[in-house]
Structure 1
Amino acid sequence: MEQRILDTMPQVKAYFEAHRAEFLQDLAALIAIDSQRTEAKEGMPYGEGPAQALAKTLEIAAGYGLYTENWENYVGIIQLDDSKERKLEILAHLDVVPEGKGWTVTEPFVMKEVDGKVYGRGTADDKGPALAAIYALRAIKELGISLQQGVRVVVGCDEECGSSDLDYYWTKTSPAEMTFSPDADYPLINLEKGHFGVKINGILPKQTGVVKIQSVQCGTKSNVIPADAEAVISGVCEEEMRKLLAQLAEETGVETALASEGTQLHVALKGTAAHAADPDAGNNAATAMLQLLAKLPEADFAMLKALHEIFPHGDGHGRSAGIYGQDEESGEISVSFNILNIDETGNLFAEVDSRTPISMSEPDFAPLPEKLKSAGYAAETSISAPHYVSPDTPLVKTLLAHYETWFGEKGECIAIGGGTYVHGLPGGVAFGCAKLGVDNKMHGPDEFAEIDQLLVSGMLFATAIYDLCK
């Protein structure tokens, strides 16, 4: 790293330390706004909350002498001046997921500082990192650090619900030469796996035997491994069902519960939820339920037994589905059976979520729909390509060099199964602000960010911007 860049580090560090209290005050003002997407209103494509968060963010930035524009409440832009030209773009977002239940440290939209951490919805995802990027611009401006090329911070309002804000943005402008998003983990994410989704429909044969499946409900979102599964079954005595459930619990590790109502038995299974990109981190209640149904002693359930053979419990990487694959850069494919619903007429619907290595393409996934067709099901598939940026690009090398300097840790590229704000954007990478391996409880109760992590991230962004745009 050049000496003149190193010379700016003490100034930048002192600046952020001097403005720590002000940073936290601004962040608290942003956290206080419930900016989850709601029904669109005139001039507010994502509802009032995201529009209010965007207005407040631009007000904060403008108050520090930065140039701002509101692009119809889809996104806002923040720059050092009004130039349309920029070499570097930083994409962050202000919308949040619903507050949910189970908060213990504070209310979701009341930021609270405890032991060097700030708690509240959006502290880590992504209002804290967005503010760190804005403060990096503020530091550059107020310290009089000169740049030869432009930089823009883009704050969006719809990352959590599909990133249509960026779809709008790219109709109005072209991407900068370099882009990163502080909406993920350090050190740097240069590879995001592709996605292979399968929707499964089937009509089970008319149940002619004594045992009948009245209904099954497992899972609510296709990208979440379900923790809960329920079924209503008749024609099995309670004692026999308890034996089956005990066997299932031993085989799968799920918790089981049974209640009777007349001739019907209500079965409940409890596993462990996880993101579909990491099936080994969860205990899938849907595949456990499928295993239970496959044990039922009736020929009527041959289709369910075939489905169980394709998606056996514990196989989160598609070996039985016939689509296993892996490579050195991406790791293994993940294949997660996350939704299973059966109604009283025998209509079955299921969904599978798969995160695919960069070495795999559409022909590699063909065996799965073929197996489903052979088992009597219709399969609707969807495919999106992986996102990959070479570690040898100047952007990646520069960001990792600054990461090593500021955090004193080895900088390296990592691959993930999820998608970030830069997925599909040529050359775009995800960079910060969370520590790899630290559970900031994003999307859950008691979401938090480490204050020093945010402030050092701001320092890092400032020197990296200088290095890239000097």
Structure 2
Amino acid sequence: MTVDIIKERLQFYKDDIKRDLSQLIAINSERDLTTKQDNAPFGIGIRKCFDKMIEFAEREGFIVEDFNGYAMHIEYGEGSEILGILGHLDIVEVGDIEKWNHNPFDLVEINGFWYGRGVNDNKGPMIGCLYLLKVLKELNYHPRKRIRLIIGGAEETTWECMTYYFNHNEMPIYGFSPDGDFPIINCEKGIGYYCYNSKERSANDGLFNIVSIKSSKDITKVCDYLIVNVQTQFPEKLACLCFSSNTKIDYDNNMVIFIYEGISARGRNPNKGENAIFKFVKDFKIIEKLDTRSKKLIKFLDKYFVDSLYGEKLGLFYEDEETGCTTSNLSYLLLEEDNYVISFDYRYPKGVDHDKIVNILKEIGNENKLELVVIKEMPLLYVSPDSQLIIALKTAYKAVTGDIPQLFSKGAASYARALKQAVAFGPTFPLDTTNSHRPNECINIENLMKALLIYSEVIKLLT
């Protein structure tokens, strides 16, 4: 069973892969708890997507189990041990529909790419892996381990799908998640999503009183939009106080409205974005006659976060030669009459002590009379370069591409973290642009086929 034979069979099924994938893309499988019901804990869209995938798998004669809509698996082969291939069918929101070149729920093929929400993250790779199992079955490949496609419904949100699944199933001995990048991500940084809360009420004791701040409440991204409402009897005077040239200003009686726009980026890459909160702080820290609460807030943000993308100001910067350095991202800021919330994330490589992180953040909070809230934490994933899994992945990658694969670290979170021995592995190749989580999400068709060939070699090596 050579690579060439598998490649030929996958090419033969390319139109079928497209047909099935188009049916998955047509289903809006964004989390929607307003439609939550029995066997649909994340909403009816994700349930429909599961049902469609089950239909495809049963059509091909595979063993399929559904775990109350939290997760499902598709299995091929026999043996006491399991090789897990982990992915998901839930998607992120479409976002600004005007930025899409076509309907995000129609699979469109243009110049060797398939376009649609979820086509890369992660429906395309899941359909591709199903067809890879179909090809292996047709070629009478008999693995010594069971091969399981483990598919979740809450990867983009809470991950409770994996908790539920592994409460009811044994852990695979090895695994990989086709929900990342090639060559090999053997380290996913530890992640902490936190916020500082204050119950301090506004004293309205300034010449200029900030009465509200609003931003998009997304803990996973760089803050790219901020609205600041300032009450004052001197609106023109406030507007003249050296604001940056791109600040948008509006007026509503005694209210001055400032609109800050940045550039969105994923929280793990704050250097690729432009934080709107930073612009706000730089504008307002020079104003002397702000209300007392706003002065304290701005001073705090400036001291610990502004222009500090790697945790330097928090006293949490660290760099590991093998797995990279820490990052810090300020994700949103909300202020009302009687409280405010500062949300941020911190990601760390191998060599950082988790307890030390939390202790330092608590100390900062205590010193500034702020409550630290842990929203979500994900421990670091690290698989040794000498492990059997990594050796197999390297061998498979080189066999198909001819290139010697390098190991690297990312701040992302894949389902690989759900296993003890697993990594994110493709399907995105270096220089690919997929627009995952953004408008016009796409996948290079031939590169998807190449990824499936690499996966076939991994399966042969590990089973």
Q: Same fold (TM over 0.5)?
A: yes
Deviations along 1:63-109, one digit per CA (max 9) or x if unpaired, are 2232322233222222225x473331111111212223235332111
Residue 465 (structure 1) aligned with residue 459 (structure 2) = yes
Residue 153 (structure 1) aligned with residue 149 (structure 2) = yes
Q: How does 1:300-319 map to 2 (within 5 A)?
A: 300=292, 301-319=294-312
Q: Which runs of 5+ in 1 are unaligned?
A: 1-6, 250-254
TM-score of the aligned structures, taking structure 1 as reference length? 0.91
Q: How does 1:67-216 map to 2 (within 5 A)?
A: 67-81=63-77, 83=78, 85-100=80-95, 101-202=97-198, 203=200, 206-216=203-213
**1:119–1:446: 8 Å Cα contact kept in structure 2?**
yes
* C-alpha separation in 1, matches of 2:233 and 2:368: 25
**2:305–2:330: 8 Å Cα contact kept in structure 1?**
no
* C-alpha separation in 1, matches of 2:328 and 2:158: 22
- CA 1:303 to 1:422, structure 2 compared with 1: closer, same or farther past 3 Å? same
Q: Which runs of 5+ in 2 are unaligned?
A: none
Residue 287 of structure 2 aligns with an amino acid whose one-letter code is L
**Corresponding residue for residue 416 of structure 1:** 410
Residue 86 of structure 1 aligns with an amino acid whose one-letter code is E
* C-alpha separation in 2, matches of 1:51 and 1:191: 32
* C-alpha separation in 2, matches of 1:431 and 1:13: 19
Q: How does 1:247-266 map to 2 (within 5 A)?
A: 248-249=244-245, 255-266=246-257
| 1:420 CA drift (Å) | 0.8
Residue 131 of structure 1 aligns with an amino acid whose one-letter code is I
Q: Secondary structure at the match of 1:160?
A: coil
Q: 1:343 aligns with which of 336, 342, 350?
A: 336
**1:293–1:304: 8 Å Cα contact kept in structure 2?**
no
* C-alpha separation in 2, matches of 1:136 and 1:342: 51
**2:365–2:372: 8 Å Cα contact kept in structure 1?**
yes
Q: 2:270 aligns with which of 273, 279, 290?
A: 279
* C-alpha separation in 1, matches of 2:381 and 2:27: 32
Q: Secondary structure at the match of 1:33?
A: coil
Residue 331 (structure 1) aligned with residue 328 (structure 2) = no
* C-alpha separation in 2, matches of 1:377 and 1:463: 53
**Corresponding residue for residue 450 of structure 1:** 444
**2:101–2:440: 8 Å Cα contact kept in structure 1?**
yes
* C-alpha separation in 2, matches of 1:60 and 1:429: 26
- CA 1:205 to 1:62, structure 2 compared with 1: closer, same or farther past 3 Å? closer
**2:201–2:337: 8 Å Cα contact kept in structure 1?**
no
* C-alpha separation in 2, matches of 1:236 and 1:296: 15
Residue 8 (structure 1) aligned with residue 5 (structure 2) = no
**2:267–2:329: 8 Å Cα contact kept in structure 1?**
yes
| 1:364 CA drift (Å) | 4.3
* C-alpha separation in 2, matches of 1:290 and 1:204: 20
| 1:17 CA drift (Å) | 1.6
- CA 1:204 to 1:309, structure 2 compared with 1: closer, same or farther past 3 Å? farther
**2:79–2:144: 8 Å Cα contact kept in structure 1?**
no
- Deviation larger for 113-122 or 383-392: 383-392
- CA 1:141 to 1:313, structure 2 compared with 1: closer, same or farther past 3 Å? same
- CA 1:121 to 1:309, structure 2 compared with 1: closer, same or farther past 3 Å? closer
Residue 58 (structure 1) aligned with residue 54 (structure 2) = yes
**Corresponding residue for residue 356 of structure 1:** 348
| 1:439 CA drift (Å) | 2.8
Q: Secondary structure at the match of 2:156?
A: helix
- Deviation larger for 145-154 or 281-290: 145-154
Q: Secondary structure at the match of 1:139?
A: helix
Residue 263 of structure 1 aligns with an amino acid whose one-letter code is N
**2:305–2:314: 8 Å Cα contact kept in structure 1?**
no
TM-score of the aligned structures, taking structure 2 as reference length? 0.92
How many residues end up aligned between the 2 structures? 455
Residue 226 of structure 2 aligns with an amino acid whose one-letter code is A
